[in-house]
Amino acid sequence: MWWLFDLIIFGYLIFVGAFLINVGTSWNRFRGRSVMLSFVSIVMIGWITIFYGSFIEPRTLVVRPQVIDLVDQSESTLTVALVSDIHVGPYKGEVWVQKVVTKIMELQADIILIPGDFIFSKAVEADMLEPLGQLSAPQGVFAVTGNHDYTDNGQQYVIDTLERLGVTVLENESINLFVDDKEVVLAGVSDLWFAGQPQQTMQGLTEEQTVILLTHNPDAVLYSGVSLADLVVAAHTHGGQIRLPWIGSIARLPTKLGNNYDKGLFNYEDQQLFITSGVSETGPRARLFNPPEINLLTIKF
């Protein structure tokens, strides 16, 4: 249905733009007509907002730093470059992926995490992920699947593509990392709407371990056993894509947690939850007050 959103957006911009041009060329006729001038001003603000939200802000990539303390007295630090919801397809392609990869590599993070949604709606779109092969970090590059990666039965093609490009895909499993001789467990759960098994993912882990859980859907915190994770890193919400100041997302988020957990760092019961708003779009191509973001997490433990 992306084409329908584009039809509406382009139709609005063309027809309203033509109206504004006509008003501009006949400006003398409207002088002194306050009601008409107010109407034209509102229409112009709407046109500028839709143009900016559809074609300017979605291409404005920002890096957002975030410090996360897992303990009161930290001894070690792990820097994480977090990027998600790449959604290659009709809106963003290989050129955009290259821009994202270049920015990530400038950050020189210890580890790179990608919590899902690599494609928009077709398995073959994964071919546009080729620049991800340039990613590297001392602790590795890790990913999990998102719900869009299962459309068109594309999950295996996406996973195979990522593995070929040097990205380790965690499928309901965990690995051990060592930072300053301290063990950190990185667990990764597949998308909860399809193949995710949170209990299996956390099996065998203990409260004494430092555990980071990588998940596409932040609803993972609702599952039993996930409370063993000191930090849950998630995506999926896009931060609502379109936001308003003091209000937040104007859309209802596709999670059980709801709009109170949209983007950023949260405390959920006894654990910390970080949600990135991602770097691309689904539904309408628009973003507003919510540019594409790469997060640089400094995790202290």
- 255-268 pLDDT, tens per residue? 999 999 999 999 99
What does the mean pLDDT of the chain come to? 95
* Residue 265 burial (CB count, 10 A): 14
- Ramachandran quadrant class, 31 (left: phi over 0; alpha: psi -120 to 50; beta: rest): beta
Co-location of 33 and 89 in the same domain: no
CATH number for 226: 3.60.21.10
How far, in Å, CA of 202 to CA of 174, rounded?
Answer: 8
pTM: 0.95
265-272: average pLDDT: 95
pLDDT in tens, 111-155: 999 999 999 999 999 999 999 999 999 999 999 999 999 999 999
Position 31 pLDDT exceeds 70: no
Q: Determine the pLDDT at residue 28.
A: 74
Co-location of 50 and 192 in the same domain: no
Domain count, the chain: 2
Strand partners, 92: 88
Q: What domain range is 14 assigned to?
A: 2-57
Q: Are 220 and 198 in contact (CB under 8 A)?
A: yes
Co-location of 238 and 98 in the same domain: yes
**Of 42, 57, 72, which residue sits at a domain end?**
57
Co-location of 98 and 36 in the same domain: no
Q: Determine the pLDDT at residue 144.
A: 98
